[in-house]
Amino acid sequence: MMRAGMMDRRGLLAGAAAGGAMLTLGGRASAATPDLKAIRAQIDKRHDEAVQRLQTWIRQPSICAEGVGMEEGCKLTMEMLKDAGFQSVTRMPTDGAPGIFATLDAGAPRTVGLYFMYDVKQVNPAEWISPPFEANLMDKPGFGKVLYGRGAVNQKGPEATFLAALHAIRGAGKKLPVNLVLVAEGEEEIASPHFPQVVRRPEVLKALSKCGEVWMPMAGQDPDGSVGINLGAKGAVELELISTGAKWGRGPANDIHSSLKAVLDSPAWHLVQALTTLVSADGNDPAIDGWYEHVKPLTARQKELIAQAVAAQDEKEVMKQMGVQHWVRDLPYQAAMERLAAEPTVNIQGLVGGYTGVGGKTILPSRAVAKIDLRLVPDQTAADCIAKLKAHLAKRGFGDIEVKVTGGYDPTQTEETSGLIQSELAVYRRRGLTPLMNPRLAGSWPGYIFTGAPVSKPAGHFGLGHGSGAHAPNEYYVIESSNPKVEGMDGATQSYVEFLYQLASTR
């Protein structure tokens, strides 16, 4: 998932709900609520099975950006959904990687939507302490037994844990308390370019219309055991800016000896000059014409939520975890966190051009590429921002630079008063947690497809458990926790059981 590891989640874990305790919903006991002891016993009994399921999933690479294992990854995900009790599981062809549409009818009065992804980010195995697709279990100081692998926390670990919850409920002889409608994609890590082709199929829209909300499993605990609730997420656009001598009509059409720079233009410098027009002099504010036209400022309530989070945090510890020494422009912490939630961004992911090997090669490259990501806030849209970028470049004499959009989507927002958010709060609070609400995740996920028309449902994330290293080397997910404040896989499975029963009671 394209997310940012925001350390805005605080609140001590006073104690987890006991597996044998009667679950109390919405502050009241419910006669229809089962004793969870039998389900907890199934979670414990099926621990090894759940871990092996996750290992099997991770051992199947599914890297959309490289076209690796996508059909196999889709097929395996479908098999896992069927095994977990979904009666209808359908492969949904798109112009890219296939999606999945699945339903589980438990005969319940209420229906809940789920979002899954089965693709993962690229890897460089040389950077890992354990091969990224072997899913090895290893001890990690301060955490216990963890599983290392690409997709461990983003997002196969939490998703496999949710499936373990379905197996445990069924294994205990219980019916699921809600019906489920699930949509999955294999292109989240390239900004979901074809996911609308899945969700906007008539049969999918009809099924989602019956849902009260749509949510995604997530390992939501920080190492101190705290959790947060995100009330939205920034949108994202991924693209490449490509400068070539052939299209520009200046400089070489093919790489040429660098001595000729005296008489030839450089496509690489042409790209650099174009890039400098996109941001302020220090590189920190977007300067694209009209960029702030639809930027919605933070509300007083959103600023209040940020202030509450900042007051509960140790700024120095946050900086230490991130490996940084200064916020942009040396802003005070609260101002920096407001900026994190409120500001759109123009970021250079990578610059590629010419020779980058050992030593010099003395060439004048004919082609240079900048990989860019844009983060968007309400009320910006991906389509409008792409159009503004192209117009900005053309106006300044850079119309020859190709803008190759590879994916993107709009921001998302869910009301604090929605049943989804209130259900999350109820489950966390029963477990002794005091979650802080974040107005907006600085990272991104395609929640807009659910919160926007025609679906128009609350959407977000939920889940206990911990993992880290998304998009980075040595990604891990805690399986057996040695940290009393952090749930392992079984405790996280229990949290999903509790959440399903809480959603069932939501009015």
Is residue 214 within 8 Å of 115, Cβ to Cβ?
yes
3-class state of residue 315 by DSSP: helix
Domain annotation for the chain: domains and CATH numbers:
24-234+411-505 (3.40.630.10), 236-295+344-409 (3.30.70.360)
pLDDT for residue 419: 97
Cβ atoms of 229 and 417 closer than 8 Å: no
pTM score > 0.85 for this model? yes
Q: Count of alpha carbons within 13 Å of 51, Cβ hemisphere only? A: 20
Which ranges constitute the DSSP H helices of 172-299?
196-199, 202-208, 245-248, 267-276
Please give the pLDDT value at position 339: 97
The one-letter amino acid code at 242 reads I
Q: How far apart are CA 118 and CA 185, in angstroms?
A: 6
What is the reported pLDDT for 348? 98
CB count, 10 Å around CB of 412? 26
- Each residue's pLDDT, cut to its tens digit, for the chain (507 residues) gives 554 443 333 222 223 333 333 343 333 334 345 679 999 999 999 999 999 999 999 999 999 999 999 999 999 999 999 999 999 999 999 999 999 999 999 999 999 999 999 999 999 999 999 999 999 999 999 999 999 999 999 999 999 999 999 999 999 999 999 999 999 999 999 999 999 999 999 999 999 999 999 999 999 999 999 999 999 999 999 999 999 999 999 999 999 999 999 999 999 999 999 999 999 999 999 999 999 999 999 999 999 999 999 998 899 989 998 899 999 999 999 999 999 999 999 999 999 999 999 999 999 999 999 999 999 999 999 999 999 999 999 999 999 999 999 999 999 999 999 999 999 999 999 999 999 899 999 999 999 999 999 999 999 999 999 999 999 999 999 999 999 999 999 999 999 999 999 999 987
Which pLDDT score is estimated for 321?
Answer: 81
Copy the structure tokens of residue 503. 């959603």
The answer to whether 126 and 209 are in contact (CB under 8 A) is no
Distances (CA, A) of 273 to 50, 266, 348, 388, 401: 53, 11, 14, 18, 11
At residue 102, the pLDDT reads 99
**Residue 246, Cβ density class (10 Å: 0-12 exposed, 13-18 middle, ≥19 buried):** middle
Taking the CB of residue 287, how many other CB atoms lie within 10 A of it? 15
Q: How far is CA 394 from the centre of its chain?
A: 33
Helix (H, G, I), strand (E, B) or coil at 505: helix
What residues pair up with 85 in beta bridges, in sequence order?
none
List Cα–Cα distances, 493 to 133, 215, 299, 365, in angstroms: 23, 15, 35, 53
> Where is 404: in which H helix or E strand?
strand 402-409
Return the amino acid letter for 406: T
| DSSP label at residue 176 | P
Q: What is the 3-state secondary structure (H, E, C) of 317-363?
A: HHHHHHCCCCCHHHCCHHHHHHHHHHCCEEEEEEEEECCCCCCCCCE
* 3-state SS, one letter per residue, for 426-474: HHHHHCCCCCEEECCECCCCCCHHHHCCCCCCCEEEECCCCEECCCCCC
| Res 35: pLDDT | 76
Residue 52 CB neighbour total at 10 angstroms = 13
